[in-house]
Copies of this chain bind each other. A is one copy, B any other.
Amino acid sequence: MRNELSIVLCGEAGQGIQTVENVLTRVLKLSGYHVFATKEYMSRVRGGCNSTSIRVSSKRLSAYVDRIDILVPLGKERTKHLNKRITKDTRILVEHEQIAVENKIYTNIAAVGVLSGVIGADKKVLSDYLSGYFSAKGAKTIEENQKAAGKGYELGINLASSGKFALKIDPDPKVKNEIMISGAEAIGLGALMGGCNFISAYPMTPSTGVFTFLAQNAAGLEIVSEQAEDEIAAINMAIGAWYAGARAMVTTSGGGYDLMQEGMSLAGMLETPVVVSLGMRPGPATGLPTRTEQGDLDLALYSGHGEFPRAIFAPGSLEQAVELSRRAFDTADKFQVPVFILSDQYLVDSYYNLPSIDIPKEPPKKYFIKTAKDYRRYELTENGLSPRGVPGFGEGLVAADSDEHDEEGHITEDLELRKRFVEKRMNKLKLLEEEALEPELIGEKNSRILIVGWGSNFGIIKEALSALGRNDISFLHFPQVYPLPKSTMGHLRLAKRVIAIENNARGQFAELIEKLTGIKITERILKYDGLPFSVEELVSRIKEKAGK
């Protein structure tokens, strides 16, 4: 008896995958099942072939698997691009089509019913959920949908009891009251916790979700939300907003971020905080707009001309996405530097249930000061941090200048001062280093083989290792990829072999570690076809590399 199920919905864009996914995952969660879902889709609005993978389990889940237990084609059968994932054990479920044969529009809800039945979800939850979901459409629609779902449910129960699925997933009552959020929402919520009250952005997949989330909550949470004419405007607005005392963020992806780099450099020079939520997708250029990749670490790391410090967070889970996004605002404000939240399509489009999100007791700390009459924005201090004032708060004047400047913020050509200002700015990197987050070690401290990962691969690597069940392999995950904490070297030195796992073609994080620690990481497991690793793929590739 399996206590976990992998369901895949597939079909053309616009065929209603979204509805099935939304309703099914909520109904399952409300019935007490742990749910994980993620999607892959083409860069088009109708047609093509997309899919959503939903895992249902008695245990918490946070990783993508290749395995398909039940495949549900919606609309015209479009399973071709999933061929590699379909095995003899894959059950292609089409029974719902029979149910809605008179009225095709109920096909999708019938499928929800069948799947709910197969799993044994709470029938009342299903029916209640549907009445909420369709409430705007009137009683008749609700009723018809409930009818279709009900029929599907019966059929599902029958299928299950026929024993073909050999399935027993015990619900966990605690889950019912949990929340379910996506990576995009997690970043947005973290930003709100960090005090974000200004968002300027230009739409770009896969970053638009975070922007949309904040725009939707602009009225409720009193956020200034504005779609800029281009990414250049977006970043320059965000910097202006921070300068004036707001807490601003931009959301973008690689190509859009390219255009923001001069602004990044400006933030570096002005020592104005700024937060960039950078959602990665495969490049170069337009690349694969709706796919995933970890190809822009180097970009974030070295972007913007000239030399100035920055911090880069790369969440590996929704929990981390919330916490690191919150922290990004604090770090940016405290050190007056640009800070990245580096995510990718896989992370922002994945969602699962979480116990809840704790709101910190302390409100976000504001680091700026009320200025006195003789205020000097760039006062030289020991550690390089000058108290930051904002215009209109206090008696002082606040001058920020993109040229090399003096302590007052006025343009200068004093080259000795230049030297001191370079050192002032660069010194903040040391401060950032001191506060850098520790990597998370999973497994023994001095195992023979150490796997190094960063960002969104966290859950997948973790599950792969637990599937492998080997105690000679540990996993070190970096939620902050720059600067690295001092401890990094120690961790790596203890291992006989280090294997980097990254969703890009060069192993950019491995290269960064090599550069910062001098430790060579020649063993790399890389992927760059636009899809995330799957647990199974990692199991086999780690086996291959690590040997028996």
Contact = CB atoms under 8 A, between A and B. Distances in A.
Contact of A307 (B284, B403, B419): B284
Interface in A252-270: 253-255, 257-259, 261-262, 264-266, 268-270
Contacts of A258: 258, 261-262, 264-265, 303-305
A301 interface: yes
Interface residues of A, number: 65
A282 B425 CA distance: 14
A259 to B, nearest CB: 6
Contacts of A418: 282, 288, 291, 528-530
A372 to B, nearest CB: 27
A506 interface: yes
Given A285-B306, A296-B306, A418-B282, A265 B261 contact: no
Contact of A295 (B283, B306, B415): B306
Name the residue among A298, A308, A425 with the largest chain B CB count within 10 angstroms: A298
Nearest to A269: B285
A403 B289 contact: yes
Contacts of A264: 258
Contacts of A308: 283-284
Name the residue among A48, A257, A258, A268 with the largest chain B CB count within 10 angstroms: A258
A302 B302 contact: yes
Contacts of A268: 283-285
A405 B511 CA distance: 28
A266 to B, nearest CB: 5
Given A422-B505, A514-B515, A530-B415, A295 B305 contact: yes
Given A285-B403, A287-B269, A415 B531 contact: yes
Nearest to A280: B305
B307 A504 contact: yes
Contacts of A426: 505-506
A416 interface: yes
A468 B531 CA distance: 58
A307 B505 contact: yes
Interface string A59-95: 0000000000000000000000000000000000000
A487 interface: no
How many chain copies?
Answer: 2
Contacts of A289: 403
A295 B269 contact: no
A43 interface: yes
Contact of A266 (B265, B284, B529): B284
A173 B533 CA distance: 71
Interface in A221-237: 232
A370 interface: no
A381 interface: no
A152 B268 CA distance: 51
Given A262-B255, A505-B422, A529 B416 contact: yes
A280 B511 CA distance: 25
A259 B257 contact: no
A125 interface: no
Contact of A302 (B48, B284, B299): B299
A404 B514 contact: no
A265 B282 contact: no
A270 B283 contact: no
Contact of A265 (B283, B416, B425, B528): B283
Nearest to A526: B422
Interface string A504-548: 111000010011001010000000111100000000000000000
A286 interface: yes
Contact of A305 (B254, B269, B401, B402): B254
5 contacts: A289-B403, A293-B306, A307-B506, A514-B514, A514-B515
Given A258-B305, A265-B283, A268-B285, 6 more contacts: A43-B413, A258-B304, A283-B306, A291-B415, A302-B303, A426-B505
Interface of A: 42-43, 48, 232, 253-255, 257-259, 261-262, 264-266, 268-270, 282-289, 291, 293, 295-296, 298-299, 301-308, 401-404, 413, 415-416, 418-419, 422-423, 425-426, 504-506, 511, 514-515, 518, 520, 528-531
